Structures are given as structure tokens and as C-alpha cells.
A = this chain, B = another copy of it.
Amino acid sequence: MRREKLEELNSYLKELQVVTRIKKDIDPRFISSEVYEIHLKCGSIFLREKLLKGKKDGSAAIIFALTKNNEVLLNVEPRVFTKEGVQLGFPAGYIELGEDKEVGARRELKEEHGYQAGKMILLDEAYQDEGCSSALNSLFLAYDCEQVTSQHLDQDEIIKPFKCTYDEVLELNALGYFKSFNSKLLIERVKEYIKRR
């Protein structure tokens, strides 16, 4: 990988580092849960809690986005409760209630990077937290992405866009830069897909 590219990435990771996390006595607004009594076919009855995020199930789309110049669009963003406090990852976001997954993925790509995708392929889906959640995340490969507007984030959303080649993504992966299930499984599925073609 080009040294200046890696230095660029490392400077973003440094810039977004967490200095302090101060616990506030404020009621949570995003995370909640509901309790259900579950009846199984075999007769067992028990209680289980369901995790909700903003009253939704928290299903998300994660996108491996290739631009027309064969670059991959990546995010450097605060992941404030991880050990590192900041993570390299892929464009991603929650699917809105009733929203089609691909539509949601395209929306997130546009919001986070200002890019419009050409063809999109759903590579895989997986439950994020099967014990207590319905969240089913979709892993997309997006081809021929091109910039149509600028980044347009929600208030309090901070994302440093970072671009590199496909081979550099694999290199960063081998170096351990990607640390989430979302990113790691997406990379595996993209590798398999590219190999099969």
C-alpha cells in the first residue's frame, strides 16, 4: 500500500479519537427493549427481551462500493464504545421502517459519500444479534458508483470518507484494520464473489 495513503488513513483514525466519555444521567432515546412471553410448539413457555433501536429492529445495510475509477469507498468514524474508539469500515446504515433494503443501501451511500450506485448485488444477509434481536443485516456489492452530490450527514454523525483500491482493502484487512462482523463478513463475501466471476 502506498505510504501516503496509509498515513492519510492513520491521520483520520487519530483525528477522531475519543478523549473522554462522560456518563450522563439522561434517559435513553435510541435503545429500548420489549419483553415477550414465548410459547414454543414443544410446550415450553418463557420470557425473552427484544432489542429495539429507535423503535425499529435495527436491520442495516453494509455496502462494498466500487467507484467508476475502481476505488472502494470507506468510512472512518467514531465507534466510541469499541476499545479503539474509532473504526475503519464500509458505508452502512439502518434501513427505515418499510424501506426496501437496496433503496436504503443506496440512500446511505448517497448520504455518507454523495455517491450514486449503478448495479447492486445482495451478497448475503445475516442476523446481527440472534439471541435478542430481529436485526438482519444485508451485505451489498455496489458497482459503478459515481459522485452526484456532497456528503449529507445527520446531525452528530461524523464520517471521514476514505478511498483506496480493492487490493488495498484486502491489505488493510490483512493488517487487522477491519474489526467488526459487518466489515469482516462483507469482505469475505466480496472475495468469494469476485473469485467466482
Interface stretch of the complex, out of A39-47, A97-105, A112-120, A141-149:
A39-47
Per the bound structure, the CA–CA distance linking A90 and B34 in Å amounts to: 26
Copies in the complex: 2
**Distance, CA A153 to CA B191, complexed state (A):** 39
Contacts known (A130-B87, A130-B180); A17 close to B40, Cβ less than 8 A: yes
Contact string, A75-119, partner B, CB cutoff 8 A, digits 1/0?
000111111000101000000000000000000000000000000
A125 to chain B minimum Cβ distance, whole angstroms, is 8
Q: Besides the contacts A17-B40, A22-B39, A40-B158, what 17 more A-B pairs have beta carbons closer than 8 Å?
A: A15-B41, A16-B40, A16-B42, A18-B40, A21-B38, A21-B39, A22-B37, A22-B38, A23-B34, A23-B35, A26-B47, A28-B34, A30-B132, A82-B130, A124-B184, A126-B180, A127-B179
